[in-house]
Amino acid sequence: MKLCAFCSKEIDIEGRVGRIDTCPHCGADLYCCVQCEFYDQFAHNKCKEPESEWVTDREKANFCDFFRFRGKIEAGSDRSKEAKRKLEELFGRE
């Protein structure tokens, strides 16, 4: 199951994602940094691929040769929400 990083809805894709492909649900570009398995907001250049070039808008289609469609949502967002909830419980904030 492949998911869009923007709307989290399932996408039916056969073969490789092309530069002009978009999500059928939200219209977001699929061939962009945020949708790539190398994307890491904490890495240098926000990419785990050391030879990648700087990309100004990571939510728009680009010409990166290293692109690999991730197709899944990072679990980190759920972990941060859970951690925040536990801290609020601990300190009595609701």
Asked if the model's pLDDT at residue 78 lies above 80, the reply is no
Count how many domains the chain has: 1
Place of tokens 């691929």: 49
Domain that holds residue 53: 1-94
- Given this model, what pLDDT does residue 39 score? 95
Kindly report, residue by residue over 25-66, the tens digit of the pLDDT.
Answer: 999 999 999 999 999 999 989 999 999 999 999 999 999 999
Exposure on the CB side of residue 54, measured as CA atoms within 13 A: 1
Q: Please state, in angstroms and rounded to a whole number, the distance separating the CA atoms of residues 39 and 87.
A: 28
What is the token pair recorded at 90?
């601990």
Q: Please state, in angstroms and rounded to a whole number, the distance separating the CA atoms of residues 42 and 1.
A: 26
Among the listed residues 15, 10, 6, the one whose alpha carbon sits nearest the alpha carbon of residue 61:
6
